[in-house]
């Protein structure tokens, strides 16, 4: 893939979105901001799940001209977004162009899941296990773009740290650009190359993730420290 992701999207609604982003191949962008800032809405607009006007170009292809089902995106929603009637293995296989149980098992093994757990449905899995299955399913799509929405939310700190390592493993397995929505940039700093801070549907700050974290005066640092309550 020569080109990465370039977007310029606007969306009306209860929360208007007006955002522009670029993410190079193999690069990870952490999208950070307060609840209700529009982060999840932006990811869904890129994936084609909600209407938006503007430009979405991935690997030189105009995704705005494609329906959602034709966009080669690996999307991990909050809570995993697994199909409740399918077991873990089937949840991964459903994302494959051609069903291949061996390849699906290999992806799940890379996410540290094997054995009897593969026959369990989402309700029988822990939150961390559900997210691991969702990560494997995202890779099974062989995506041109990876979008992860709060993959570390709603799990205990030890599980969260393990998921951070697994997302890093996902990054190593795919050259696709990645956007990861998170409330904890410090936790994702080992994964993200660049960061963008979103407030009220707008990107108000962006730059190298490590530099923004190191700068006590950056909007992101002040927000993480609880010093930027009015944003």
| Beta carbons within 8 Å of 55's beta carbon, 6+ residues apart | 6, 7, 8, 9, 62, 64
* Calculated CA dihedral for residues 40, 164, 172, 5, nearest 10 degrees: 20
Tens of pLDDT, residues 135-154: 999 999 889 999 999 887 76
Mean pLDDT of all residues belonging to the chain = 89
**194-199 and 202-208 strand pairing:** antiparallel
Dihedrals phi, psi of 204, to nearest 5 degrees: -105, -10
Token pair for residue 149? 């929405």
Predicted local confidence at residue 228, as pLDDT: 64
Contact between 205 and 196 (Cβ < 8 Å) = yes
Q: What stretches in the chain show pLDDT beneath 50?
A: 1-2, 231
| Buried b / exposed e along 1-26 (16+ C-beta atoms within 10 A) | eeebbbbebebeeeeebbbebbbebe
Residue 120 burial (CB count, 10 A): 15
Contact between 96 and 103 (Cβ < 8 Å) = yes
Angle formed at CA 208 by CA 18 and CA 180, multiple of 5 degrees: 60
Phi-psi region of 135 (alpha: psi -120 to 50; beta: other; left: phi over 0): alpha
pTM: 0.90
Tens of pLDDT, residues 89-123: 999 999 999 999 999 999 999 999 999 999 999 99
């Amino acid at each position: 893939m020569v080109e990465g992701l370039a977007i310029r999207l606007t969306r009306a609604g209860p929360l208007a979105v007006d955002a522009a982003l670029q993410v190079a191949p193999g690069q990870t962008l952490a999208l950070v901001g307060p609840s209700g800032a529009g982060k999840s809405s932006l990811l869904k607009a890129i994936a084609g799940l909600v209407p938006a006007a503007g430009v979405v170009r991935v690997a030189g292809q105009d995704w705005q001209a494609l329906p959602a089902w034709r966009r080669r995106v690996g999307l991990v929603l909050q809570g995993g977004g697994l199909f409740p009637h399918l077991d873990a293995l089937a949840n991964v296989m459903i994302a494959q162009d051609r069903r291949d149980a061996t390849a699906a098992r290999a992806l799940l093994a890379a996410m540290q899941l094997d054995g009897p757990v593969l026959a369990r449905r989402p309700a029988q899995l822990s939150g961390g296990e559900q997210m691991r299955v969702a990560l494997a399913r995202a890779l099974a799509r062989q995506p041109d773009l990876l979008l992860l929405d709060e993959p570390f939310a709603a799990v205990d700190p030890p599980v969260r740290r393990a998921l951070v390592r697994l997302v890093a493993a996902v990054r190593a397995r795919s050259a696709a650009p990645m956007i990861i929505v998170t409330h904890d940039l410090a936790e994702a700093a080992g994964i993200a190359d660049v960061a963008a801070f979103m407030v009220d549907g707008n990107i108000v700050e962006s730059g190298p993730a490590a530099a923004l974290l190191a700068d006590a005066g950056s909007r992101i640092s002040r927000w993480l420290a609880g010093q930027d309550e009015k944003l």
